[in-house]
Amino acid sequence: MIKFAPRRMSSFIQVILLALICIIGLHFFLKSDSTSVSVKAPEPAEFKQQPSEERPKEPAKNRVKAALVSLVRNTDLHGMRQTIREIEDRFNRVYKYPYIFLNDVPFTDEFKKGVKDLTDSEVSFGILDDESWGTPDWIDEKKLQHVLDTADYINGRSRSYKYMCRFQSGYIYKHPLLKDLEFYWRIEPDVKYYCQLDYDPFVYMKENNKMYGFNMAPNEYMVTIPTLWNTTKAFMKEYPQHVAKNNLLEFAVENGDYNGCHFWTNFEIVNLSFYRSKQYEDYFKFLDRAGGFFYERWGDAPVHTLAVTMFLRKDQVHYFGDIGYYHPAMGFCPKNSKSSGKCVCDPDKENEFNYGCRRRWDIV
């Protein structure tokens, strides 16, 4: 009996162990199956993924004849793509205004594809002619070359920069691609637009009889325009009929001299009838014949500003203080952006009143 008892005990234990294994296996099987069912259960409604917002397929019905326009080089593709992305996200994916890109040489296929990939809007590409991009025959080439060799201010030795300032001052609005437009919005590469824009600034300008819109007003480098004001005074003396009553010259002139205040024209929204007016055209031709675009560095910003302040009233000019903006070197954040929730910037760091001419705008 002593020999056979362990065998009977061993068999009994084996049976018990086998039963336990089966019970444990069944437990895990049921738990696993229960878990899989719970994973597939519907989520609460508030956690369901919402369908992605579809981009509007049609332009806004009340659009005006306007476009976003840029004079740009092929090498600016990356910076231009950044700007387009900002504008599409903040504004144009809804309103679908066309883009017009201008260049002094043909655009590459890479540039064309690179900008068209970012928008559903119409995109046009134009090239400049010799009259609008070049040295006119009345400019003394030797005198110009001396300036290009000796100028000690930024871009003073760049011939192409002088061409650009002259083109932006007197030719951009004459380009065939802009001939049917009522308004244009000038855009530049490497720009940031800080705020969501929930209205159409072109429609606002048209409905409120605004001719010129800006959003920054710094001071000009006076070394670049030593004779611009004297030339402008000579123009006003010759064409007194062009100077508007109740004009805005107080913004730009203090104690009889130009104070350097200017609308920073890398952002401007303009009723193009202003640039096409006889007053403006006579002023540009007067400046062009004086040669300051080449012998000095007359920028389109002070030229546009002096024209606006001579020919318009304040109620015809609009400050777009809600379009937060950054162009390399300078920017501003709307003062109410902390409460509006529509801007991605800090008004304490980029205060619009950091610029003296912005403060002056409120008192003229």
pLDDT digits (tens, 9 = 90+) for 60-84: 678 899 999 999 999 999 999 999 9
- How far apart CA 352 and CA 359 sit, in angstroms, is 9
Extract the residue ranges of the chain whose pLDDT is less than 50.
1-10, 12-13, 15-16, 24, 26-55
Condensed to tens digits (0 to 9), the pLDDT of residues 127-186 reads: 999 999 999 999 999 999 999 999 999 999 999 999 999 999 999 999 999 999 999 999
Domain borders along the chain are 66-361
Q: How far apart are CA 279 and CA 66, in angstroms?
A: 22
Cβ-based neighbours of 309, under 8 Å, separated by 6 or more: 247, 248, 249, 250, 251, 252, 253
- 361: which residues sit within 8 A by CB, 6+ positions away? 217, 251, 319
Instruction: Tell which residue, 277, 264, 241, has the closest CA to residue 329.
Output: 264
- Between helix 278-290 and helix 300-311 the angle, nearest 10°, is 140
Contact 312, 248 (CB under 8 A): yes
**Residue ranges of the alpha helices (H) in 88-170?**
93-95, 109-116, 141-150, 159-170
pLDDT at 231: 98
Domain 66-361 classification at class level: alpha beta
Q: Which tokens is 215 given?
A: 């959003």
pLDDT of amino acid 6:
42
**Active-site residue 268, yes or no?**
yes
- Whole-number pLDDT of residue 356: 87
For 191-218, letters b (16+ CB in 10 Å) and e give: bbbbbebeebbbbebbeeebbbbbbbbb
Q: Could you give the angle at which helices 109-116 and 77-87 cross, rounded to 10 degrees?
A: 20
Query: Of 86, 268, 296, 350, which residue is the catalytic one?
Result: 268
Residue-level pLDDT at 101: 99
